[in-house]
Structure 1
Amino acid sequence: MAELDKECLFCKIIQGTVPSYTVFENDDVKAFLDLSQVNPGHTLMVPKKHIINLLDYTPEDARRYLQYLPAIANAIKEFDTNITGMNITTNNGASANQVVMHSHVHFIPRFEGDGLKLATRNNAEKYTSADYEKIATKIKEQF
């Protein structure tokens, strides 16, 4: 298999040298259960190309690999009628809690009253309209 890293855990899973509980696989991606099972059905989808994280995707990589997100999410949702929502997340870089340095998307099924809290914070009181304009302008300039 081309474009894989012999030291990467997810590349080993793609190659089959490390076992996984696969739920979907084709020539582009592999989706398998996350062993942590934050909630039942917690699944990871990885591209079958060693890409560190989403920030390293080319437009072609995005078209090729991310097209499977809805199908995988819907298959997970359909496996249990008690699923009422889903967090679909990706951690990009160590400071964002990325542990395995191979791009992967988490599908975390949600259930009413599951008690899972994904931490965010609201810092709106720290920003003025001018601050928002400055940040937005700087980001726009990067395109």
Structure 2
Amino acid sequence: LEGSVWGKLYESFPSVMKHLPGPHNKLFTNFDLVKDFIHEEVEKHKKDLDHNNPRDYIDTFLIEMDKHKEPELGFNETNLTLCSLDLFLAGTETTSTTLQWALVYLINHPDVQEKVQEEIDKVIGQSRLPSMADRSNMPYTNAV
């Protein structure tokens, strides 16, 4: 929904769109769910944080929060949640947009679509799912 017309309208007119009914309201629900999930992860990380052995981004941010108590530096839980959310959503939007354009390209170029399908059938067949190991055996599909 984020990359949809409703999402784009919300980006352009957030104060108006908050008051209009429509599928864009699902964004608020989903945003809150992801925000709650990240908050739960932060709480779990706080419980078993090892300052000498950070496991990931959240641990590193929490360690910096402990080092820098000045609020103007931005090391606070709200910023940690929002930065984590940015990392999560950035990957989601770019992946979905890339897949949409790939499908549009294949629809508009049936000859390319046919060659890709032939290569997939030859390398993978119909009896199993593809794996990352198949990639090196499918140069045409990989290039497309």
Give me the TM-score of the superposition, normalised by structure 2: 0.24
Which has more radius of gyration? 2
**Structure with the greater relative contact order (CA < 8 A, sep ≥ 6): 1 or 2?**
1
Per residue, is there more helix in 1 or in 2?
A: 2
Per residue, is there more strand in 1 or in 2?
A: 1
